[in-house]
Structure 1
Amino acid sequence: MLKLRNISKFHRSGDIETTALHQIDLEIEPGEYLAITGPSGCGKSTLLGILGLLDPPSCGEYWFDGHNVAGWSESRLNLLRRGRIGFIFQSFNLIDDLSVAENIGLALEYGDVPVRERKQRVDEAMHRLGISHRAGHRPSQLSGGQQQRVAIARAIVSRPALLLADEPTGNLDSAHGDEVMRILRDLNREGTTLVMVTHSPAHAAQAARTLRLLDGKILVDALAV
């Protein structure tokens, strides 16, 4: 499904160039559950951004469903990304002026999903995450765990094949974090390809495969025992 070949990412500030990723080779099969770990600044979020077509690599090839998308225009990437990739962020990224249902529905706003089906999908996502009774609430009226449930519902409402999660439990207490991990495991068991960045060894251990980065390079790529 996903194949990276000799992917590097450089950042330049004036005359100074820093390397975020260095010659990454990686393949992710459909239905895999991959955890990306490593110290702060090692390139985890940069790699996730490249996988999600949000951040172009400086060099190398990125094959997404048989297409080498490195160098594609932003408009072409948007079309490819739409409905196929879901994102879950540590900071939730909810719009406080919108209700729970409206926040979730944003993921379907620019697709070709009919209005009636859009409402049905939002209702199904809210039911699955146990937040139907919060449909009319604003994010500021919710706990952190409830906000993350809304963020997950928004990520899955378009039924993406690939779900990318960047520290999805980072702002949650242990109980809510464990619940989010259970939801992610369930989604993976149903066939969703899941790639998660995490600092938690316990959460990384729940993945079928762990990738450890250091200084922008893959240090370990191991299957779960």
Structure 2
Amino acid sequence: MFKLRHLTKTFRTGDIETTALDRLDLDIEAGEYLAITGPSGCGKSTLLGILGLLDAPSGGEYWFDGQDVAGWSEKRLNTLRRGRIGFVFQSFNLIDDLSVAENIALALEYGELPARARRERVAEVMERLGLAHRAGHRPSQLSGGQQQRVAIARAIAARPALLLADEPTGNLDSAHGAEVMRILRELNAEGTTLVMVTHSPEHAAQASRTLRLLDGRVVVDAMAA
């Protein structure tokens, strides 16, 4: 499904150049559950951004469903990303002026579903994540765990093939974190490819495969026992 070859990402600040990813090679198969670990600054979030077509590599190849998308224009990447990739972030990224239902519906705004089908899809994911009774609430009226469930509902509303999660439990207590991890495991079991950045060894151990990065390179690539 995804193939990276000699992928490099550098950032320049003034005269200083920093290498975030260093000639990285990686294959991710459809339906995998991959956890990406490593110390702060090792390139985890940079890698996730490139996988999600939010950032472009400085060099190398990124094959997305048989197409090398490295060097594509932002417009082409937006078209490819829409409806095929979902994102779950540590900070929730909800719009407080919108209700729960309206936040989830944003994921379908630029798709081809007619209005009635969009409403049905939103109702479906709210029911699945136990949010139906909160449909008219604003994010500020919800607990952290509920807000993250809204973020997951928004991420899966378009039924993406790839779900990217960047420290999805980082702002949650242990009980709500465990609930989020259960939801992610269920989505993966249903066929969604899941790539998760985490600092938690316990959460990484739930993945079928763990990648450890150091200085922008893969130092461990291990399948679950």
**Common fold, TM-score beyond 0.5?**
yes
Alignment of 1:32-51 (within 5 A): 32-51=32-51
Identical-pair percentage: 81
Q: How far off its partner does 1:14 sit?
A: 1.1
Q: Which amino acid aligns with 1:138?
A: R
- Extract structure 1 runs of 4+ deviating beyond 3 A: none
Q: Which amino acid aligns with 1:19?
A: T
List per-residue Cα deviations over 1:128-176 (Å, max 9, x = no partner): 1001000000000000000000000000000000000000000000000
How far apart, CA to CA, are the structure 2 residues paired with 1:181 and 1:154? Answer: 16
List per-residue Cα deviations over 1:34-74 (Å, max 9, x = no partner): 00000111100000000000000000000000000000000
How far apart, CA to CA, are the structure 2 residues paired with 1:112 and 1:14? Answer: 44
Alignment of 1:189-208 (within 5 A): 189-208=189-208
SS at match of 2:164: strand
List per-residue Cα deviations over 1:80-132 (Å, max 9, x = no partner): 00000000000000000000000000000011111000000000000010010
How far apart, CA to CA, are the structure 2 residues paired with 1:173 and 1:14? Answer: 40
SS at match of 2:96: coil
Scaled by the length of structure 2, the TM-score of the pair is 1.00
1:170 has 2:179 as partner: no
How far apart, CA to CA, are the structure 1 residues paired with 2:205 and 2:126? Answer: 28
List per-residue Cα deviations over 1:196-217 (Å, max 9, x = no partner): 0000000000000000001111
Aligned residue pair count: 225
Q: For structure 1, which runs of at least 5 residues remain unmatched after alignment? A: none
1:153 corresponds in structure 2 to: 153
How far apart, CA to CA, are the structure 1 residues paired with 2:15 and 2:201? Answer: 37
Scaled by the length of structure 1, the TM-score of the pair is 1.00
Q: Which amino acid aligns with 1:18?
A: T
SS at match of 1:194: strand
1:56 corresponds in structure 2 to: 56
1:76 corresponds in structure 2 to: 76
Alignment of 1:1-225 (within 5 A): 1-225=1-225
